[in-house]
Structure 1
């Protein structure tokens, strides 16, 4: 279990999970350096909102937001969100990512990360049938009113039954 998971376990005795995730992301050094900030997490964890401000910390040579800042602000959220939605019986890992830049970002950017109850149920059914699967989540970084898309991030996420995953790893070591 990671330091962050241990802190969540202790913190859940005193705070709600969505509050811990929001503040945990915003105060963790690795996420702070992305210059992204989580602005809202729904109590059921199904929806997360993020803002990436254009600042001197993330401006590139041509005065737009550095692509690395865009990616790092989006990168951990779909996986961590899914880990917390599915619970401890599943293994969830980022497998790959692709970022497609659409236009230079010379203003603050916003993103929403969302899972539906149907999507979660579908994942659980497919994992129970296949033991493991991959899904692709797409996140768009937009302006505040969502009329301009500046980039899309496609994340491939691996999900497996925890027991199956441990057996699979053990058999590879033998």
Structure 2
């Protein structure tokens, strides 16, 4: 499904802490006025943080995209770029918070740009993280 967003991963670090995506402007995502369709900008960013965290944290954790606040700043009339990054310190903080709180939400801010200084879109992505044990116990209580 990710292919339909037109997003293309062009860099993934060995530890998965950095992922870079290019969203080329083409006939598949060009809207009526010639700029990139906003849905394409959003969908190219949708799964990346979740997939990064699922792989970095491992199978003892549950990770879900919870919400996205998107602000379109200017039309994208050319290729767009976005970098998804977690520092080692962020990962350590997430692990520690989950140990204490069982489940947390984090907010990561993203900028979709022209690869330089022009910002097309800003996003705040809220991601839910818990231990698998806590998540299963909580779901069992709701059933």
Q: One fold, TM greater than 0.5?
A: yes
RMSD: 0.6
Is 2:60 aligned against 1:89?
yes
Q: Cα deviations across residues 54-109 of structure 1 (Å, max 9, x unaligned)?
A: 10110001100000000000101011111111101110001111110000000100
SS of equivalent to 1:122: helix
| Greater relative contact order (CA < 8 Å, ≥ 6 in sequence) | 2
Quick check: 1:111 aligned with 2:102?
no
Partner of 2:21: 50
**TM-score if structure 1 supplies the norm length?**
0.81
Q: Please, which of 126, 132, 136 is the counterpart of residue 103 of structure 2?
A: 132
Which structure shows the bigger proportion of residues in helix conformation? Answer: 1
Secondary structure at 2:44 match in 1: helix
- Confirm whether residue 152 of structure 1 aligns to residue 99 of structure 2: no
- Structure 1 outlier segments of 4+, above 6 Å: none
How many matched pairs? 143
CA apart distance, 1:152: 1.0
State the alpha-carbon separation in 2 of the partners of residues 156 and 144 from structure 1. 24
SS at match of 1:43: coil
Which consecutive residues of structure 2, in runs of 5 or more, have no partner in the other structure?
Answer: none
Tell me how far 1:171 sits from its aligned partner. Answer: 0.9
CA deviations 1:102-126 (Å, max 9, x no partner) are 0000010000000011000000000
- TM, length-normalised to structure 2: 0.98
Q: Are residue 79 (structure 1) and residue 50 (structure 2) matched?
A: yes
1:61 to 32, 36, 43: 32
